[in-house]
Amino acid sequence: MSCKILPILAFFFFTLNLWAQKPADRYRFEQADVYNKNQSSSNKKELTRFEKVNRDLVLIRNENSIIPIKGLVSKRIAYISIGLPKNSEFERTLKKYTKIDRVDLPVAGDGKAAVEWAQSLKERYNLFIIGIEDRANQQKAYLKQHFAINAIIKEFSNICVTFGGGQIFQYLPTLKESGALIITPDEFEYSESVAAQATFGALPITGQLTRNLGGGIEAGMGLSSQSDSLLKYTSPSMAGMNADLLKDSIKAIVEEGIEARAYPGAQVLVARKGQVIYHKTFGFHTYDSLRQVEQEDVYDFASVTKVSSALPALMKLYGEGHFDLDAPLVQYFPKFKKSNKADLSFRSMLAHNAKLMPWIPYWRNTVKEDGQFKPRTFNRDSSKQYSVRVLENLWLHKNYRKKMFKAIKKSPLNDEPGFVYSGLLFYLLPDIVADLSKQDFETHIKNNIYRPIGAYSITYNAYKHYPLEKIIPTERDTFFRMAQLHGTVHDEGAAMMGGVSSNAGLFGTANDLAKLFQMYMNYGQYGGEQIIPRKAVKEFTKCQFCAEDNHRGLGFDKPQPFNPDSRYTALSASPDSFGHSGYTGTFVWADPQEELILIFFSNRVYPTRDNRKLYEMNIRPRLHQAVYDAILKDKN
């Protein structure tokens, strides 16, 4: 009897558990089989179309091996469109790889004026990319500007990419003298995206012309260009994902959060096998629904800064033999010589295993009981003494930073050993990196980490670099700064450091953060360049004190194996995976086993940090698991 009852009971509890799930998750589970039926055929068709365009791409000229574009730190790139619409797929895809300015051709003029115009741009740019739609020959306005086009080709290193049948060479023969010349297949779905990706080397070029175009461009011509480990931009089905299931699951979960007012807007980026296969935005900057979220918007990373700023710099220094993980703090920060922290190792501190207290509310020591600021703390106007900007009308005394370090130095250690998440070390790391590199901290990480991978959007103090309409606002601060925070770091301590800390403070786009984490998954390599030594990435991303029930890596968070109920990651995330979350509503996670990256950005603290629905609704772990669920399993 019991043998018959047990299967019935098992089915009953399974069904009960299924219906106890959130509607979005239940829908995803129920629809999985339906989605999978036609996915394999769809994958093959899309892959075939994409590969055909890539295969038919032809490289006619490539002087000095301009293609693929290398050395992004030294490149100052401008883009000119001839016949292509503004913000075309070609332009948008080019800008995913690095900072590129659009330059419009001047109104028609003679040859001398055109050369003067081109030469006036030399201080700003050293490489031009020209995108030309073949039908431009029908637009007289462009043909009248041929002097300017000729001048760019003669005065600058340049890449010309043509779209269409090739008739444009009859009207603008100078194009054949371009430094590099790419000819795309006729009017094909993926031509613009594929050509842009190939320009930077994310895709190879191997095609040969199948027809004569005249003027020395003949059938059979075609050079080859190899691909490197840059992110590609494709689709879910091309990376072994169930496209419909992925899209529907993410949409249902994220919009459920918006409807519950867990956040006013969000965006999600998914990359797999080195390909960005999903990047969508949802909702608005604020609950007034005035400005929609866009992919290029920059977010306050919050604690995602911990794994995106000083940490990669330390990894690089460690891998190159300039930093010892097991050295005591005092070796690289002698100001703490007479401190209870002097002998703490960097390994233990980076793994949150050094008995450091979690945090210090530095701002509280600046305020008197009546709410007024104490002397020599803040002033409403900037001056030589009050030179640290916290807000437009709030300036910190230049020496207060020393008091913050003194507070860290004097802070007690926890009584018990073991894992305690602490941000204290991360206030000191920028000074340590600057001292070891003999370079200003911000300059060092931008030139050695971000710019080599084309991550130009990642920066501190976003208000200096972006208009406010491109920055997602965070909290309405009602206890310290008494203002809406917009472009200024949310974290109080980082704000009092002038916005520059490795505890918090970075802003950036999801696309550029994906580049950084793809570089981590490539063990420090990106675009054919070893940015961080391989051994360093392996060491920092592995669990350091697992034997002591501490699941953390060095700076990086890891899946929680000791208490799965407390995980904010997918249960399917492998032990090799790593990432971090941020207080403002950010999350990034990479899994080398599945070659998978998920980035979720929201401003859940708008307008108040008291809103905890993001946590209560388990948005991030459900979203993360949905991505794993959409991976097509090999039936073999």
For the chain, give every domain's residue range. 57-228, 248-629
pLDDT for residue 48: 84
Q: What is the mean pLDDT of the chain?
A: 91
pLDDT for residue 432: 98
The whole-number average pLDDT for the span 452-478 is 98
φ/ψ (deg, to 5) at 225: -140, 130
The whole-number average pLDDT for the span 462-466 is 98
pLDDT for residue 174: 87
Note the pLDDT tens digit of each residue in 485-543: 999 999 999 999 999 999 999 999 999 999 999 999 999 999 999 999 999 999 999 99
Note the pLDDT tens digit of each residue in 279-292: 999 999 999 999 99
Q: How far apart are CA 450 and CA 144, in angstroms?
A: 40
Residues shown for the chain: 636
pLDDT for residue 395: 97
pLDDT for residue 38: 55
Q: How many CB atoms lie within 10 A of CB 247?
A: 17
Q: How confident is the model at residue 305 (pLDDT cuts 50, 70, 90)?
A: very high
Q: How far apart are CA 57 and CA 224, in angstroms?
A: 10
Instruction: Output Rg (C-alpha) for the chain, integer angstroms.
Output: 27
Q: What DSSP string describes 480-532?
A: SS-EE-SSS-S-HHHHHTTT--SSS-EEE-HHHHHHHHHHHHTTTEETTEESS
Q: How confident is the model at residue 12 (pLDDT cuts 50, 70, 90)?
A: very low
Token pair recorded at residue 110: 């003679």
Residue 73 confidence (pLDDT) above 70: yes
Most confident by average pLDDT, 143-157, 206-220, 463-477: 463-477
The whole-number average pLDDT for the span 203-227 is 92
Q: How confident is the model at residue 17 (pLDDT cuts 50, 70, 90)?
A: very low
The whole-number average pLDDT for the span 230-238 is 95
The whole-number average pLDDT for the span 573-596 is 98
The whole-number average pLDDT for the span 146-158 is 93
pLDDT for residue 145: 80
Weakest-pLDDT range from 132-146, 256-270, 415-429:
132-146
Residue 29 confidence (pLDDT) above 60: no
pLDDT for residue 445: 98
Note the pLDDT tens digit of each residue in 548-575: 999 999 999 999 887 777 789 999 999 9
Residue 5 confidence (pLDDT) above 90: no
Residue 636 confidence (pLDDT) above 50: no
Q: How confident is the model at residue 134 (pLDDT cuts 50, 70, 90)?
A: confident
Residue 27 confidence (pLDDT) above 70: no
The whole-number average pLDDT for the span 458-470 is 98
Per cent of the chain over pLDDT 90 is 80
The Cβ-side half-sphere exposure at 95, using a 13 Å CA radius, reads 17
Q: How far apart are CA 505 and CA 584, in angstroms?
A: 11
Residue 104 confidence (pLDDT) above 90: yes
Cα→Cα distances 57→193, 210, 595, 620, Å: 12, 11, 27, 40
Weakest-pLDDT range from 145-149, 300-304, 452-456:
145-149
Q: Which CATH number fits domain 248-629: 2.40.160.20, 3.40.710.10, 1.10.1200.120, 3.40.50.1820?
A: 3.40.710.10
pLDDT for residue 144: 67
Which residues, in sequence order, are CB contacts of 486 under 8 Å at separation 6+?
Answer: 463, 468, 471, 473, 474
pLDDT for residue 213: 86
Q: How confident is the model at residue 42 (pLDDT cuts 50, 70, 90)?
A: low
Q: How confident is the model at residue 138 (pLDDT cuts 50, 70, 90)?
A: low
Weakest-pLDDT range from 123-137, 436-450, 454-468:
123-137
pLDDT for residue 142: 63
Weakest-pLDDT range from 46-55, 165-174, 241-250, 442-451:
165-174
Q: How far apart are CA 110 and CA 138, in angstroms?
A: 21
The whole-number average pLDDT for the span 435-464 is 98
pLDDT for residue 170: 80
Cα→Cα distances 486→460, 477, 624, Å: 13, 11, 28
**Same topology between domain 57-228 and domain 248-629:** no
Domain spanning 57-228: CATH 3.40.50.1700: yes
Note the pLDDT tens digit of each residue in 401-417: 999 999 999 999 999 98
Parallel/antiparallel/unpaired status of strands 459-460 and 506-508: antiparallel
